Amino acid sequence: MDFELVDVLRDGALTVITINRPTVHNALNEQAQRELAAAFDAFENDDGQWVAIITGAGDKAFCAGHDLKQQAQGGAMYMPPSGFGGIAGRFSLNKPVIAAVNGVAMGGGFEIALAADIIVADARAQFALPEPKVGLAALAGGIQRLAEAIGMKRAMGMVMTGRRVDAAEGLQLGFVNAVVDGDVLGAARQWAEQMLACSPMSIRASKQAMQRFAGISMEQALQEQWAYPAVRALLSSEDMVEGPKAFAEKRAPAWKGR
């Protein structure tokens, strides 16, 4: 597959995947989603690639999530079978992934970061699941993974308000592993180097053992949530249409609650 919106660099056993849409804060349209899925497919299936880093182009955004403007203009809200960004639903991947968060990680962008195993954040990074503010919900794993990472009450505080959390607070809450002032990709590479110094078989076995420890699997949660009455109601609601439309028109949304 030819990549236009995603850059893929292979450096020895390390794959660096960069979302390259800086003019729209690296928000993902359908093409970018497909390219990310293909990039992670290649990483997962290449025995010579042991560790991946996912980051965003520029110095303002890691990923602003789903391209709401595309949706408001009638574009499909496309998500690959492997989940948002080609990773959020990729439960078969037992190789480590590091998110080098170089700026804002909003909505689906935060969900991509949460789907990674390690989050290294620039001190200026901002995280949020603001979907309720535009009539959506973080249904690509963000709700479940955030609760798993920081606890139900803390996650509720973020999800139910859509508030932004900076890198320092993310470190305190526990979903960020390290905060750096400056070269976040370089810091992520240092983490990767430590992983590459370990047995890839040991790393993969350790990751899989940790992932399957929970009482209910993330895969089961993501599969079952689509049948929840409140989710089904959201997906067919007027508010889900109104939110992206108001965002594109730069006005306050007029919620209907139906």
Q: Which residues are catalytic?
A: 111, 131
Q: Are 238 and 256 in contact (CB under 8 A)?
A: yes
162 burial (CB, 10 Å; 0-12 / 13-18 / 19+) is middle
Q: Tell me the sheet residues that pair with 39.
A: none
Q: CA-CA distance, 207 to 236, in Å (whole number)?
A: 37
Give dist(CA 43, CA 50) in Å, integer: 8
Is residue 28 within 8 Å of 66, Cβ to Cβ? yes
Sign of the alpha-carbon torsion through 82, 61, 4, 6: negative
